[in-house]
């Protein structure tokens, strides 16, 4: 029988919500729960007990998102599960599982990296979440049966995990993923510095105030995002809020030593260090809106240029749009990923 959520979303297939305890997140620095929702889309005619094995696409949400936001629906909009169902129904991709991973934390997102400052979200994703799906569903439980995709910070996560965790996924797709941190991040520093200044430079004080508000400004959302990045990229210890900021709190001057630690995660910088992992992939896919507000179209171009310099094939597209609401790009990436994965 179809789940309530599957029915609400009007799926021909279905979706199951699991709540999975992730050992990787036990005792994380920010005190976030280790039990996380994990949603799995199953296509029409899915037979959990049959002999058929399914390839799985793992979806990573963006900043300020989570699994609840991924499964949310609105009139006229198509969410990621509805896209999967629509593509399978239309025969544009074979029956495939789609698993939605939760990488949210108190600072709005983990960037899917392992950090003492926020938690081991890379391990949470590639070990605990993938492990749960393989243990629970009739998957093709090997690299060739798994791909990873995401938008914005989720696109960053897809690139980052495909590079740094070889052997888990055979393909990645990054939609408007973070890259070229100079271009993408530095422009946000002044606004965040001002907000922190109104809280005496105390990140915790700002976050506690932020959490109590009914409505939050764009500047406040960018500020918490920057704190999340600091916890991910430049933590000082496993104490909550003990991280280095990439700018001087008084003058706003760039702290080059701290920013160098950030750049050690920038796909445009580090892709050259992961040539073997990247070469082993069956598909490297990046796209971005040509009017992206964060200049991530340039970031994608830089990643693509460097991968091509290494002799790798990359699928690269630009589309006429900005950073927001580009979920319709799944209609391009899902079939492309499904095509290179093993069929059961």
Point out which residues bind its own copies (CB under 8 A): 3-5, 7-9, 16-17, 19, 37, 64-69, 71-76, 104, 108, 180, 182-183, 186-187, 189-191, 193-194, 210-211, 214-216, 247, 250-254, 268, 290-292, 295, 297-299, 301-302, 305, 321, 325, 328
The smaller minimum CB distance to its own copies, of residues 58 and 210, is found at 210
The smaller minimum CB distance to its own copies, of residues 145 and 155, is found at 155
Locate 211 and state its tokens: 């959490």
Letter string b/e over residues 194-223, b meaning 16 or more CB atoms within 10 A of that residue's CB = ebbeebeeebeebbeebeeeeeeeeebebb
Give me the least distance between CB of 294 and its own copies, in Å please.
Answer: 8
Q: Find all residues with CB under 8 Å of 233, minimum gap 6, and list them.
A: 111, 113, 115, 261, 262, 264, 265
The smaller minimum CB distance to its own copies, of residues 93 and 225, is found at 225
Give me the least distance between CB of 162 and its own copies, in Å please.
Answer: 20
Give me the least distance between CB of 2 and its own copies, in Å please.
Answer: 10
The smaller minimum CB distance to its own copies, of residues 167 and 252, is found at 252
Q: Is 49 exposed, middle or buried (0-12, 13-18, 19+ CB in 10 A)?
A: exposed
Cα separation, 38 vs 26, in Å, equals 17
Give me the least distance between CB of 32 and its own copies, in Å please.
Answer: 11
The smaller minimum CB distance to its own copies, of residues 122 and 195, is found at 195
The smaller minimum CB distance to its own copies, of residues 103 and 145, is found at 103
Give me the least distance between CB of 161 and its own copies, in Å please.
Answer: 21
| Structural Rg of the chain based on CA atoms | 19
The smaller minimum CB distance to its own copies, of residues 65 and 177, is found at 65
**Segments of 211-308 assigned E as strands:** 283-289
The smaller minimum CB distance to its own copies, of residues 145 and 267, is found at 267
Give me the least distance between CB of 258 and its own copies, in Å please.
Answer: 14
Tell me the C-alpha to C-alpha distance, in Å, between residue 104 and each of 152, 236, 243, 312: 14, 20, 18, 32
Give me the least distance between CB of 300 and its own copies, in Å please.
Answer: 9
Tell me the C-alpha to C-alpha distance, in Å, between residue 203 and each of 39, 194, 195: 32, 12, 9
| Beta-carbon-side half-sphere exposure of residue 303 (alpha carbons within 13 Å) | 36
| Phi–psi pair at 272, nearest 5 degrees | -65, -20
Strands across the sheet containing 35-42: 14-21, 35-42, 97-101, 56-60, 146-151, 171-175, 283-289, 315-319
Give me the least distance between CB of 236 and its own copies, in Å please.
Answer: 23
The smaller minimum CB distance to its own copies, of residues 193 and 284, is found at 193
**Segments of the chain assigned E as strands:** 14-21, 35-42, 56-60, 97-101, 114-115, 119-120, 146-151, 171-175, 283-289, 315-319
Give me the least distance between CB of 127 and its own copies, in Å please.
Answer: 23
């Amino acid at each position: 029988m179809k789940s309530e959520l599957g029915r609400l979303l009007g799926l021909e297939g279905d979706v199951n919500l699991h709540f999975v305890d992730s050992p990787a997140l036990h005792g994380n620095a920010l005190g976030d729960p280790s039990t996380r929702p994990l949603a799995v889309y199953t296509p029409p005619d899915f037979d959990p007990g049959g002999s058929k094995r399914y390839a799985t696409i793992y979806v990573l949400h963006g900043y300020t998102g989570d699994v609840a936001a991924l499964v949310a629906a609105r009139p006229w909009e198509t969410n990621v599960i509805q896209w999967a169902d629509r593509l399978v129904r239309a025969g544009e991709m074979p029956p495939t599982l789609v698993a939605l991973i939760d990488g949210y934390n108190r600072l709005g997102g983990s960037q899917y990296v392992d950090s003492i400052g926020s938690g081991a979200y890379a391990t949470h994703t590639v070990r605990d979440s993938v492990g749960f799906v393989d243990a629970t569903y009739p998957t093709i439980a090997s690299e060739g049966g798994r791909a990873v995709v995401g938008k914005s910070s989720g696109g960053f996560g897809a690139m980052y995990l495909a590079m740094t965790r070889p052997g888990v996924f055979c393909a990645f797709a990054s939609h408007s993923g973070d890259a070229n941190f100079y271009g993408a991040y530095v422009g946000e520093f002044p606004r965040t510095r001002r907000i922190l200044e109104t809280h005496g430079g105390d990140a915790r004080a700002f976050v506690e105030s932020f959490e109590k508000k009914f409505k939050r400004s764009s500047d406040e959302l960018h500020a918490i995002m920057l704190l999340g990045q600091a916890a991910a990229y430049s933590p000082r210890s496993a104490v909550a809020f003990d991280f280095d900021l990439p700018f001087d709190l008084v003058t706003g001057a760039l702290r080059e030593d701290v920013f160098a630690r950030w750049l050690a995660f920038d796909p445009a910088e580090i892709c050259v260090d992961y040539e073997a992992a990247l070469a082993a992939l069956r598909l490297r896919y990046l796209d971005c809106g040509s009017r992206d507000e964060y200049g991530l179209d340039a970031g994608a171009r830089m990643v693509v240029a460097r991968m091509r310099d290494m002799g790798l094939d990359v699928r690269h597209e630009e589309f006429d749009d900005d950073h927001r609401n580009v979920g319709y790009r799944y209609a391009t990436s899902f079939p492309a990923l499904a095509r290179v994965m093993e069929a059961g």
